[in-house]
Amino acid sequence: MIGKLNHVAIVVPDLDAATKTYRDVLGAKVSEPQTLPAHGVTVVFVLLDNTKVELLLPYGENSPIQAFLDKNPSGGIHHVCYEVKDIIAARDKLKASGARVLGNGEPKIGAHDKPVLFLHPKDFIGTLVELEQA
């Protein structure tokens, strides 16, 4: 069902410093910051040959990642994102197998302008999983 790894997301306390680390120290190409109010984050993508790293900074009072940053003030890995061909078919198959889809179960448009869903970490070995329609 899952395809390639789309990205690994890291919550950061300072987006500028994290961007500079990837760009200036590691020599990676990085995107411009993109604020996604509907998701409560500002993101920068580190562009690699085989995948991406998504740097996440909380945005707004109700950011869903603020609690993560409060517990992990230095930041850390937040989730992994896998591509799927058909997000509705994937959701339905996962729900039928007992997996929990977060939110209302309907896809939202993510940072790449494609439908995304998140799966409960307790169902996936303690890892928050994002699915993105390829």
State the pLDDT at residue 65: 95
Pairing of strands 34-36, 41-47: antiparallel
Q: Which of 54, 61, 106, 130 is catalytic?
A: 130
Summary mean pLDDT of the chain: 96
What does the DSSP assignment read for the chain?
A: ---SEEEEEEE-S-HHHHHHIIIIIS--EEPPPEEETTTTEEEEEEE-SS-EEEEEEE-STT-TTHHHHHH-TT-EEEEEEEEES-HHHHHHHHHHTTPPBSTTSS-EE-TTSSEEEEE-GGGTTT-EEEEEE-
Q: Compute the average pLDDT of residues 90-94.
A: 98
Cβ count within 10 A of residue 18: 21
Residue 90 pLDDT greater than 90, yes or no: yes
Q: Return the pLDDT at 127.
A: 97
CA distance 51 to 54: 10
Residues 6+ apart with CB under 8 A from 7: 45, 51, 52, 53, 54, 80, 81
Stretch 94-106: mean pLDDT: 96
Model confidence pLDDT, tens digit, residues 25-53: 999 999 999 999 989 999 999 999 999 99
Q: Would you call 83 a catalytic residue per the annotation?
A: no
Quick one: pLDDT at residue 113? 92
Residue 111 — pLDDT band, cuts 50, 70, 90?
confident
- Superfamily grouping for domain 5-133: 2,3-Dihydroxybiphenyl 1,2-Dioxygenase, domain 1 (3.10.180.10)
Confidence of residue 112 (pLDDT cuts 50, 70, 90): confident
Query: What is the residue extent of each domain of the chain?
Result: 5-133
pTM for this one? 0.93
